[in-house]
């Protein structure tokens, strides 16, 4: 269970967002607080988000719309994170194609150097530089495909859980 004590429902919302309430974005600090608490919930059970408001605030129409507003906001954030993940993979594929081209060209140049300048100290130094250049060129794409996508994928999972969370507004 994630519990938030508020004085008014507006505390959860981005005050600069002029959209109607159901589509308004969450305040970044409030969203970060909820997401961090959701990350701590290791169980696969559905999340329960309890918004604790004073009695008169909990009775307002605005407070009654909080559950759908929060779910919409987290659904939107999950969609945005999915687009970021797709863009990351698209950039990774482009970078990998370029990196493999550079690596292939580096290996080809090394072979040509070995044939033309056999045994030369300068040739050995250039060969080593070309090998390093080739491997460095594929470093970033491999980093994307091996590691960088994991945190974003985890964030998407958490945002999806929050979009499906049970949200209760309680009066204190």
Average pLDDT over residues 53-62: 88
- Contacts of residue 33, defined as CB under 8 A and 6 or more positions apart, other chains included, come to 4
Q: Are residues 70 and 120 in the same domain?
A: no
Q: How distant is the alpha carbon of residue 135 from its chain centre?
A: 27
Q: Are residues 48 and 108 in the same domain?
A: no
Element spanning 4, H or E:
strand 2-5
Instruction: Print the domain residue range for 123.
Output: 91-150
Distances (CA, A) of 56 to 5, 9, 12, 46, 168: 14, 11, 17, 29, 16
Average pLDDT over residues 55-66: 87
Q: Are residues 39 and 103 in the same domain?
A: no
Whole-model pTM: value is: 0.80
**Chain segment 139-164, per-residue pLDDT in tens:** 999 999 999 999 999 999 999 999 99
Cα 31 to Cα 144: distance, rounded to the nearest angstrom: 26
The confidence score (pLDDT) of residue 32 equals: 92
**Chain segment 73-125, per-residue pLDDT in tens:** 999 999 999 999 999 999 999 999 999 999 999 999 999 998 988 878 888 99
The confidence score (pLDDT) of residue 46 equals: 87
Q: Are residues 70 and 95 in the same domain?
A: no
The confidence score (pLDDT) of residue 16 equals: 61
The overall average pLDDT reported for the chain is 90
Task: Give the SS3 label for residue 63.
Answer: helix
Percent of the residues in the chain that have a pLDDT greater than 90, as a whole number: 66
Cα 125 to Cα 135: distance, rounded to the nearest angstrom: 16
Domains in the chain, number: 2
Q: Are residues 146 and 102 in the same domain?
A: yes
- Do the domain assignments include residue 84? no
Q: Are residues 96 and 42 in the same domain?
A: no
- Do the domain assignments include residue 106? yes
CB hemisphere CA count around 4 (13 angstroms): 27
- Contacts of residue 14, defined as CB under 8 A and 6 or more positions apart, other chains included, come to 24, 25, 26, 27, 28
- Do the domain assignments include residue 85? no
The confidence score (pLDDT) of residue 51 equals: 94
């Amino acid at each position: 269970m994630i519990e938030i004590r508020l004085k008014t429902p507006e505390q959860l919302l981005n005050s600069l967002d002029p959209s109607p309430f159901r589509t308004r974005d969450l305040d970044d600090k409030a969203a970060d607080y909820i997401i961090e608490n959701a990350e701590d919930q290791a169980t696969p059970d559905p999340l329960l988000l309890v918004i604790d408001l004073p009695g008169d605030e909990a009775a307002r129409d605005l407070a009654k719309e909080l559950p759908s507003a929060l779910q919409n906001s987290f659904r939107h954030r999950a969609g945005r994170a999915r687009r970021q993940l797709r863009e990351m993979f698209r950039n990774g594929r482009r970078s990998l194609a370029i990196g493999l081209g550079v690596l292939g060209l580096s290996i080809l140049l090394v072979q040509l150097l070995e044939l033309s300048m056999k045994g030369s100290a300068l040739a050995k130094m250039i060969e080593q530089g070309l090998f390093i250049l080739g491997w460095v060129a594929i470093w970033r794409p491999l980093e994307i495909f091996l590691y960088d996508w994991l945190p974003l994928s985890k964030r998407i999972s958490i945002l999806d859980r929050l979009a499906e969370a049970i949200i209760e507004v309680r009066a204190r």
